[in-house]
Amino acid sequence: MALKGRDLIGIAETGSGKGKRWHICCLRCYIFSAQPRLVRGEGPIVLVLAPTRELAVQIQEEVAKFASRSRIRSTCIYGGAPKGPQIRNLQAGVEIVIATPGRLIDMLEAQNTNLQRVTYLVLDEAGRMLDMGFEPQIRKIIRPDRQTLYWSATWPREVEALAKQFLRNPYEVIIGSLNLKANQSINQLLKL
């Protein structure tokens, strides 16, 4: 469905492998055949947004497995790390940027990159990003002229309503229950 160029909503529980599906699509469809090579100073062709730096780094590791064989450059930008190396990577030119919304907005406002060439946008764990209050940043990034893939493990009604504002006539693929939501009975404790 994504290879047809349509927006897509994919809902499935965590650990189902849903996030790996778009890697293959973006590399086959957009990078290899549909886009001219980047010129220095141009922004990325593919933008992947993740709610946390941990997920962004994990996505970067997966993308690197596919991209390294095809000379596709990617970088990961997120808060809590020095900006210098991230800025250098962006300015050198990368086809794929994996980012957290806050750091991406910082880079855009400082004119370290732009989104003019982005035609393929992935919102990974989109429900969580919206739950974490990233709606204003997402609204700054999403445009109707780029394909958007919206992946999430949760699908409450308020998140569904926001997704439908962001996407144009999307395919919807829901694996499992329509009533997916984060498990509230899990407590995580960090002991130092």
Instruction: Provide the pLDDT confidence category of residue 37 given band limits of 50, 70 and 90.
Output: confident
Q: What is the pLDDT of residues 111-122, one digit of tens each?
A: 999 999 888 888
138's CB contacts (< 8 A; 6+ apart) are: 49, 101, 123, 129, 130, 166
- Per-residue confidence (pLDDT) for residue 192, from 0 to 100: 44
Q: What is the pLDDT of residues 47-97, one digit of tens each?
A: 999 999 999 999 898 888 777 777 788 999 999 999 999 999 999 989 899
- Grouping H, G, I as helix, E, B as strand and the rest as coil, residue 46 is strand
Nearest residue to 97 via CA among 116, 80, 82, 110: 116
CATH entry 3.40.50.300 includes domain 2-33+43-174: yes
- Per-residue confidence (pLDDT) for residue 28, from 0 to 100: 56
Q: Which residue has the tokens 């590791």?
A: 61
Instruction: Provide the pLDDT confidence category of residue 183 given band limits of 50, 70 and 90.
Output: very low
Q: Answer yes or no: are the C-beta atoms of 44 and 97 closer than 8 Å.
A: yes
Bridging pattern class, strands 171-174 and 147-152: unpaired
Percent above pLDDT 70 for the chain: 80
- Per-residue confidence (pLDDT) for residue 23, from 0 to 100: 57
**Which of 54-68, 105-119, 134-148, 154-168 has the highest mean predicted lDDT (pLDDT)?**
105-119
| H or E element at residue 135 | helix 135-141
Asked whether residue 22 carries a pLDDT value surpassing 70, the answer given is no
User: What is the mean predicted confidence (pLDDT) over 110-135?
Assistant: 88
What would the two tokens of residue 141 be? 């990034």
Distance of CA 129 to the CA centre of its chain: 10
